[in-house]
């Protein structure tokens, strides 16, 4: 279900995001949809610049106002990307790190491969392509 466009502040948005929200952001950020979202946001910035370029040079107040709007749009665009990445880093730093596994010898890899045939064969065993 598509939510209505937010046009004013929402209660509680200024507080910290939950880990679930940060996880959702990570999912969006690493999905194939992220570049499309960036493209739409960039299009909005370009539209603001176009308004500036189409403003009559004789109307100094309008030129200044449109310049400020275009500059603000690009600042919001870059800040939003940075904020998303910061929130994702908070999420990823909270996830328990997996302990490093000791490197297996070729013999150990072969035993593991026999026990679990879905594992890739040891590098020395692989045939050239």
Hey, where are the domains in the chain? 19-95
- What span, in angstroms and rounded, lies between the C-alpha atoms of 46 and 53? 10
The predicted pLDDT at position 3 comes to 85
Q: How far is CA 129 from the centre of its chain?
A: 36
Phi-psi region at 12: left, alpha or beta (left = phi > 0; alpha = psi -120 to 50): left
Does the predicted TM-score (pTM) go above 0.75? no
Count how many residues are written for the chain.
129
Residue with the two structure tokens 């100094």:
60
Could you list the pLDDT tens digit for every one of the 129 residues in the chain? Answer: 888 888 888 767 777 899 999 999 999 999 999 999 999 999 999 999 999 999 999 999 999 999 999 999 999 999 999 999 999 999 999 887 777 777 878 888 777 777 777 766 666 545 555
* pLDDT (0 to 100) of residue 121: 67
Query: Helix H segments across the chain?
Result: 19-29, 34-53, 60-94, 106-115
């Amino acid at each position: 279900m598509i939510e209505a466009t937010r046009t004013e502040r929402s209660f509680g948005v200024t507080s910290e995001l939950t880990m679930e929200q940060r996880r959702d952001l990570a999912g969006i950020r690493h999905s194939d949809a992220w570049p499309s979202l960036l493209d739409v946001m960039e299009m909005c910035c370009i539209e603001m610049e176009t308004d500036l370029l189409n403003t009559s040079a004789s109307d100094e107040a309008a030129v200044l106002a449109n310049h400020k709007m275009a500059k603000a749009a690009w600042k919001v665009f870059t800040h939003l990307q940075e904020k998303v990445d910061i929130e994702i880093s908070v999420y990823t730093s909270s996830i328990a790190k997996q302990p490093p596994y000791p490197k297996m010898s070729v013999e150990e890899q072969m035993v593991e491969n026999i026990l679990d045939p879905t594992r890739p064969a040891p590098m020395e065993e692989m045939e050239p392509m």
